[in-house]
């Protein structure tokens, strides 16, 4: 295991150089990995496992869009595609990748099919961390492990196909067999992680829920809307407002940040942009840090988990969700975005 140091803080990480794919295959050679769920993380993780030569099967409810997608992706019913219960029965490692609500609904079935020495794998710490609300309490005779790719399953798959990796966190909640570390790292490498950094189930879900509601999705969407609205109120066209708010960020500036950091991005902009950015970042930090404090408190107290569980329990939740997403999609901001994306020139 390698170490990375940030001042006086030392972190455990595992790289593909020190723990390569051949080693992962050797560790997993006698395992049957069942990926339960073919929604967000399921496709990317299962396809990467399959392409890496791991014995993997998929469990999914038959008859829905996700089942059809699995068929389209080359999974064969009765061979490596089964019902959730049948896949769970066949597995030595259950990758529990259903939605948080789906995990709650299917937990008794999954628990009844776990054998001593099996491993129960998560990509989100939600169910175990908020066990008082979810009822997900793993039996003591199985390994309970986590690999959480830091991005969507779509990104995990795209980077894998491109010969790259998406960084992931890993955690061990319970080591019943003495093999939990080797299992979790082997799976992390086999699903396509760039490198793995150590965390806990609790820290993973606290950071994940904060990030999703914060800068990754909620805050970003809110900031986009605020700046776009201000520009439009002051007479700027939809194209100009969208390009200055979203397009330049996603197509030009964020790739520079990803490449070499925020200072690198600043260094590759005009001195006018640099001066304004350096001055105004303090104002935005001061304005938003109290919101992040409130958000983290709600996550760590379980209030956000309660909201999620209650919302998913409503029979018309999917309908309401579709309506909210439609409202977002049909706003002028994102209708402008659809038009701008059509005008992006293709590289020849």
Which residues carry out catalysis?
124
- Closest to 343 measured CA to CA, from 216, 253, 239: 239
DSSP-derived pairing of the beta strands 193-198 and 56-59: unpaired
Phi-psi region of 122 (alpha: psi -120 to 50; beta: other; left: phi over 0): beta
C-alpha 117: how far from its chain's center? 27
- Spatial CB neighbours of 30, under 8 Å, sequence gap ≥ 6: 92
DSSP for 143-175, written as a single string: EEEEEEESS-HHHHHHHHHTT--EEEEEEEEE-
Which is it for the CA torsion 133, 134, 139, 142, positive or negative? Answer: negative
> What is the rounded CA–CA span in Å between residue 133 and residue 127?
8
């Amino acid at each position: 295991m390698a170490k990375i140091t940030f001042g006086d803080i030392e972190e455990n990480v595992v790289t593909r150089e020190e723990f390569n794919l051949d080693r992962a295959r050797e560790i997993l050679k006698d395992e049957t990995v069942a990926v339960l769920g073919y929604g967000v993380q399921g496709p990317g993780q299962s396809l990467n496992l399959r392409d890496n030569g791991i014995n993997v099967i998929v469990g999914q409810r038959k008859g829905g869009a996700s089942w059809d997608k699995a068929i389209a992706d080359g999974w064969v019913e009765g061979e490596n595609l089964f019902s959730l219960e049948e896949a769970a029965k066949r597995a030595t490692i259950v990758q529990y990748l259903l939605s948080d609500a789906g995990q709650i609904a299917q937990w008794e079935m999954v628990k009844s099919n776990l054998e001593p020495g099996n491993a129960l794998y998560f990509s989100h710490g939600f169910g175990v961390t908020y066990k008082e609300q979810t009822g997900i309490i793993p039996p003591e005779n199985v390994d309970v492990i986590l690999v959480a790719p830091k991005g969507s399953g779509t990104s995990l798959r795209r980077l894998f196909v491109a010969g790259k990796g998406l960084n992931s966190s890993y955690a061990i909640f319970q080591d019943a067999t003495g093999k939990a570390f080797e299992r979790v790292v082997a799976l992390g490498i086999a699903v396509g992680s760039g490198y793995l950094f150590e965390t806990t189930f609790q820290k993973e879900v606290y950071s994940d829920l904060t990030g999703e509601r914060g800068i990754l999705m909620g805050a970003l969407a809110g900031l986009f809307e605020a700046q776009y609205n201000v520009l439009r109120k002051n007479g700027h066209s939809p194209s100009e407002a969208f390009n200055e708010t979203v397009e330049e960020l996603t197509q030009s500036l964020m790739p520079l940040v990803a490449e070499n950091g925020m200072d690198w991005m600043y260094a590759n902009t005009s001195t006018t942009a640099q001066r304004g950015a350096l001055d105004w970042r303090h104002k935005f930090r001061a304005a938003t840090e109290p919101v992040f404090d409130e958000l983290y408190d709600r996550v760590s107290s379980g209030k956000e988990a309660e909201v999620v569980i209650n919302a998913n329990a409503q029979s018309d939740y999917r309908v309401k969700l579709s309506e909210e997403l439609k409202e977002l999609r049909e706003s002028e901001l994102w209708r402008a975005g659809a038009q701008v994306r059509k005008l992006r020139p293709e590289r020849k």
